[in-house]
C-alpha cells in the first residue's frame, strides 16, 4: 500500500487501509481502483439467484440519517443486507435532535446499541468526520453525505459508471453541469476524477452557483454550456438544490433550464456516444429534459444499481480495515 | 523432498475421474474450478479429458472465514458459472487441499447458486492437514510437510509445484 495520505489519515488504519470512509480527499489512486474492483465483484453477486454473501454475518450496521434521503438510505440498507449484516435505519432529523440532544449524545446512545458501523448523513459539512473522531475505536463511520462537503460513495458509484461504460479515465472529457456551489456530489466527483487521472474535467455553471477555490480541483470552468459540452464523453448533471438556496442566486427555474438545462439540442454538442449521468432525484424540465433523462444513453438507473455494489465494497473494506486494526492493537498490547 | 510433476498427476486424475464418474453413473458432469490455481488445474484436466465443456469459476473470497486476517482480495475476478447448477453433477477442482476451509467456503457459495445433485471434489495435492471433515474424492498426490513448509502451484503454462519455507507462522 502507498504511504499514509497526509490529508485524511483518520480514515486509514496503521497499514494504510480504509477503516472509515469519510472523504475521497487524500485517498490514492490505488485505493480508489481497489474500491472499483471490489464493487465489480459485488455486481456479479447482485445478478445471482441468492443475492447475498456472508461477509458481514452477525455485524450490525446502523444508518443514521439526520437529513432526508431515499436512494442513498435504501441502497446502503440493501448493500448491508446483501453482505448479511443486520441493519437498522434511524431518521434522526425528526426525532431527538429536534428535542435538543447534541450530536455526541445521539451518538453515545447509538453506540450503546453495539453497532459495528454507522452510515451517517448530515446537513452540516464535516459531521461524519466529527463523529469518526469521537466514536469509540473499532466502530467504522461511513459518510453518506455531509452538507456541501462530500458524498464519497456517490462519487465512487459515478466513477464505477464511467469506468464500466467509458473505460480508461485518462482519455476522457467529463463535464459536471449545474449547481456546483451546493453540491457535495460535484466535490467528490472532481476529487475522484482528478485522482483517477482524468485530463479534462469541466465544470459548467452560472457564476452565482460556482464556489470559490475551484482551482485546487484542477478543473476548467465554463459559464457557457454550449462551449463547455463540446465533445465531452460524460455529462454529469446535478440537481438544482432548492432546499439549500436562500434566495437571490437564480432568477427562476425556467431561466435556469433555458441557460443550463440539458436538452436534446445541447446533448448533440457532446461526443455522439457520450453518456448522461445524474445523482438523482431528477427535476425534469429544470436541469434535464425528460427525453434526455429517459434516452438509452442515460445512466441514471444504472447508477442506482452500481450504487449498491459500491456501498457493499465500502462497507466490507472498512470492516476489513477495522478488523485488521483490532489485531494490530492486540499485537501491540501483547508486546508491551 | 522430490515434488511431483503436475502433468503426470493430471493424467492420473483424468483416468481416475473417468472411472469415478462411470461408477456413479454420471454422464454430463459440470466442471467448476476455484480461483486461481484450481482453475489452472481444471483447464489442464479438461484438456486431458479432451472436453469442450465450459468451466465455471469460483472466487470464494466473499465466503472465507479468515478474511479479517488476510483481508479482502478483490483483485481476483468475480465468480462466473456459465450454467445452471441445480440438479447437476458437479466436479469441483482445487489445486491444494490443506485445512479444508477453502472447500467449505466454495460449497457454501455453490449452494447460493442452486442445489447441485452431487459434488465430486478433485484436488491436485492433499497436504494431510485437514481441520474440517472434508476430503477429496480424487487426489493427485498426498504430501506431508513440516509445519513451516508450504507448497504453491505456479502456472498456468506449464504448471509446476514449488516448495517454500516460511520465516514465521
B118 lies in which domain range?
Answer: 6-65+78-165
Min Cα–Cα distance to chain A from B20, Å:
31
The pLDDT, as a whole number, for residue A228 is 97
Same domain for A239 and A267?
Answer: yes
CATH number of the domain at B50, please: 3.40.50.2020
Are the C-beta atoms of A82 and A72 separated by less than 8 Å? no
Residue B10 pLDDT level (bands cut at 50, 70, 90) = very high
Indicate whether B129 belongs to any domain: yes
In 3-state terms chain B splits into helix, strand, coil percentages (rounded to 5) of 30, 25, 45
B59, B63, B67 ranked by CB distance to A320: nearest: B67
Show residues of chain A in contact with B72, CB under 8 Å.
Answer: 38, 316-317, 320
- The three cell numbers of residue A104 are 455526541
- Whole-structure pTM value: 0.87
Show residues of chain B in contact with A37, CB under 8 Å.
Answer: 74-75
Same domain for A16 and A90?
Answer: yes
Evaluate if residue A94 carries a pLDDT over 90: no
Are the C-beta atoms of A76 and A131 separated by less than 8 Å? no
Contact B112 A41 (CB under 8 A): no
* pLDDT, tens digit (0-9, with 9 covering 90-100), for B123-153: 999 999 999 999 999 999 999 988 888 899 9
Contact A54 B62 (CB under 8 A): yes
Residue A79 pLDDT level (bands cut at 50, 70, 90) = very high
Same domain for A320 and A204?
Answer: no
B71, B75, B79 ranked by CB distance to A44: nearest: B79
A173 - beta bridge partners? A200
Return the number of other C-beta atoms located less than 10 Å from residue A95's C-beta: 12
A14 touching chain B per CB within 8 A: no
Contact B62 A55 (CB under 8 A): yes
Same domain for A157 and A286?
Answer: yes
Average pLDDT, stretch B46-59?
Answer: 95
Evaluate if residue A95 carries a pLDDT over 60: no
Same domain for A24 and A157?
Answer: no
Are the C-beta atoms of B60 and B36 separated by less than 8 Å? no
Alpha-carbon span A281 to A295, nearest angstrom: 17
CATH number of the domain at A209, please: 3.40.50.1370
Show residues of chain B in contact with A327, CB under 8 Å.
Answer: 68-69
Which of B31, B25, B27 shows the shortest CA–CA distance to B48? B31
Return the number of other C-beta atoms located less than 10 Å from residue B164's C-beta: 10
B99 touching chain A per CB within 8 A: no
The pLDDT, as a whole number, for residue A2 is 39
Same domain for A233 and A276?
Answer: yes
Residue A6 pLDDT level (bands cut at 50, 70, 90) = very low
Same domain for A146 and A269?
Answer: no
Evaluate if residue B165 carries a pLDDT over 80: yes
The pLDDT, as a whole number, for residue A9 is 82
Indicate whether B71 belongs to any domain: no
Average pLDDT, stretch B51-55?
Answer: 95
- Count how many domains chain B has: 1
Indicate whether A273 belongs to any domain: yes
Contact B68 A317 (CB under 8 A): no
The pLDDT, as a whole number, for residue B71 is 58
Contact B71 A48 (CB under 8 A): no
Contact A41 B74 (CB under 8 A): yes
Bond from prior residue into B158 cis (ω within 30 degrees of 0): yes
Indicate whether A218 belongs to any domain: yes
A150 touching chain B per CB within 8 A: no
Indicate whether A16 belongs to any domain: yes
Are the C-beta atoms of B37 and B153 separated by less than 8 Å? yes
Evaluate if residue A4 carries a pLDDT over 70: no
Give the residue from A12, A37, A59 with the most B CB atoms within 10 Å of its CB, the best one to mutate.
A37
Between positions 55 and 74 of B, the ones with CB within 8 A of A are 59, 62-63, 67-69, 71-72, 74
Indicate whether B73 belongs to any domain: no
Name the more confident of A46 and A85: A85
Same domain for A226 and A243?
Answer: yes
The pLDDT, as a whole number, for residue A3 is 40
The interface predicted TM-score (ipTM) is: 0.73
Same domain for A251 and A330?
Answer: no
* pLDDT, tens digit (0-9, with 9 covering 90-100), for A141-171: 999 999 999 999 999 999 999 999 999 999 9
Contact B74 A37 (CB under 8 A): yes
B77 touching chain A per CB within 8 A: yes
Q: What is the mean pLDDT of chain B?
A: 91
Residue of A nearest to B112 (CA): A50
Same domain for A88 and A222?
Answer: no
Indicate whether A3 belongs to any domain: no
Evaluate if residue A277 carries a pLDDT over 50: yes
Same domain for A159 and A258?
Answer: yes
CA A82 to mean position of chain CA atoms: 19
Alpha-carbon span A19 to A141, nearest angstrom: 8
Show residues of chain A in contact with B79, CB under 8 Å.
Answer: 44
Evaluate if residue A208 carries a pLDDT over 50: yes
Of A30-34, A237-241, A263-267, B88-92, which range is least confident? A237-241
Name the more confident of A138 and A304: A304
* pLDDT, tens digit (0-9, with 9 covering 90-100), for A283-302: 999 999 999 999 999 999 99
Evaluate if residue B65 carries a pLDDT over 80: no
Evaluate if residue B39 carries a pLDDT over 70: yes
Indicate whether B72 belongs to any domain: no
- Count how many domains chain A has: 2
Q: What is the mean pLDDT of chain A?
A: 90
Same domain for A203 and A299?
Answer: yes
Evaluate if residue A99 carries a pLDDT over 80: no
A46 lies in which domain range?
Answer: 9-151+305-335
Indicate whether B70 belongs to any domain: no
The pLDDT, as a whole number, for residue A59 is 92
A34, A48, A55 ranked by CB distance to B112: nearest: A48
Indicate whether B1 belongs to any domain: no
Min Cα–Cα distance to chain B from A39, Å:
8
Average pLDDT, stretch B40-59?
Answer: 95
- For Cα atoms A157, A161, A166, give the angle at the middle one, nearest 5 degrees: 145
Residue of A nearest to B81 (CA): A48
Alpha-carbon span A229 to A233, nearest angstrom: 9
The pLDDT, as a whole number, for residue A90 is 86
Evaluate if residue A128 carries a pLDDT over 80: yes
Amino acid at each position: 500500500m502507498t504511504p499514509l495520505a497526509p490529508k485524511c489519515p483518520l480514515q486509514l488504519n496503521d497499514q494504510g487501509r480504509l477503516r472509515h470512509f469519510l472523504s475521497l480527499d487524500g485517498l490514492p489512486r490505488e485505493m480508489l481502483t481497489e474500491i472499483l474492483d471490489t464493487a465489480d465483484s459485488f455486481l456479479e453477486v447482485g445478478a445471482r439467484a441468492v443475492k447475498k454473501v456472508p461477509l458481514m454475518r452477525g455485524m450490525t450496521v446502523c444508518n443514521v440519517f439526520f437529513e432526508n434521503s431515499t436512494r442513498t438510505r435504501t441502497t446502503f440498507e440493501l448493500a448491508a443486507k446483501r453482505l448479511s449484516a443486520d441493519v437498522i435505519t434511524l431518521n434522526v432529523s425528526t426525532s431527538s435532535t429536534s428535542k435538543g440532544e447534541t450530536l455526541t449524545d445521539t451518538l453515545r446512545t447509538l453506540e450503546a446499541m453495539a453497532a459495528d458501523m454507522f452510515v451517517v448523513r448530515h446537513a452540516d459539512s464535516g459531521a461524519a468526520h466529527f463523529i469518526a473522531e469521537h466514536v469509540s475505536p473499532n466502530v467504522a463511520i461511513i459518510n453518506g453525505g455531509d452538507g456541501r462537503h462530500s458524498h464519497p460513495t456517490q462519487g465512487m458509484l459515478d466513477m464505477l459508471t464511467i469506468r464500466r461504460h467509458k473505460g480508461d479515465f485518462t482519455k476522457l472529457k467529463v463535464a459536471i453541469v449545474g449547481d456546483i456551489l451546493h453540491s457535495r456530489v460535484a466535490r467528490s466527483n472532481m476529487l475522484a476524477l482528478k485522482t483517477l487521472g482524468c485530463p479534462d474535467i469541466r465544470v459548467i455553471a452560472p457564476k452565482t452557483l460556482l464556489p470559490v477555490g475551484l482551482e485546487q480541483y484542477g478543473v476548467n470552468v465554463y459559464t457557457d454550456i454550449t462551449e463547455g459540452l463540446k465533445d465531452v464523453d460524460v455529462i454529469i448533471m446535478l440537481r438544482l438544490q432548492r432546499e439549500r438556496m436562500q434566495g437571490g442566486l437564480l432568477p427562476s427555474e425556467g431561466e435556469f433550464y433555458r441557460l443550463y438545462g440539458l436538452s436534446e439540442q445541447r446533448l448533440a454538442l457532446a461526443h455522439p456516444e457520450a453518456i448522461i449521468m445524474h445523482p438523482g432525484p431528477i427535476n425534469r424540465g429544470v436541469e434535464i429534459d425528460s427525453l434526455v433523462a429517459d434516452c438509452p444513453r442515460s445512466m441514471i438507473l444504472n447508477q442506482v444499481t452500481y450504487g449498491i455494489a459500491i456501498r457493499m465494497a465500502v462497507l466490507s473494506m472498512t470492516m476489513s480495515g477495522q478488523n485488521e486494526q483490532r489485531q494490530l492493537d492486540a499485537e501491540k498490547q501483547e508486546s508491551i | 523432498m522430490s515434488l511431483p510433476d503436475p502433468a503426470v498427476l493430471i493424467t492420473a486424475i483424468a483416468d481416475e475421474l473417468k472411472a469415478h464418474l462411470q461408477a456413479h453413473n454420471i454422464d454430463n458432469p459440470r466442471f467448476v474450478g476455484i480461483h486461481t490455481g484450481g482453475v489452472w488445474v481444471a483447464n489442464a484436466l479438461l484438456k486431458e479429458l479432451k472436453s469442450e465443456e465450459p468451466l465455471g469459476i469460483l472466487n470464494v473470497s466473499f465466503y472465507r472465514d479468515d478474511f479479517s486476517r488476510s483481508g479482502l482480495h478483490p483483485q481476483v475476478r468475480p465468480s462466473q458459472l456459465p450454467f445452471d447448477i441445480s440438479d447437476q453433477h458437479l466436479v469441483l477442482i482445487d489445486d491444494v487441499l490443506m485445512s479444508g476451509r477453502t472447500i467449505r467456503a466454495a460449497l457454501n457459495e455453490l449452494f447460493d447458486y442452486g442445489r447441485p445433485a452431487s459434488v465430486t471434489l478433485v484436488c491436485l495435492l492433499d497436504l494431510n492437514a485437514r481441520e474440517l471433515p472434508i476430503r477429496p474424492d480424487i487426489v493427485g498426490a498426498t504430501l506431508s510437510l513440516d509445519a513451516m513448509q508450504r507448497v504453491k502451484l505456479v502456472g498456468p503454462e506449464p504448471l509446476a509445484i514449488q516448495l517454500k519455507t516460511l520465516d514465521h507462522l
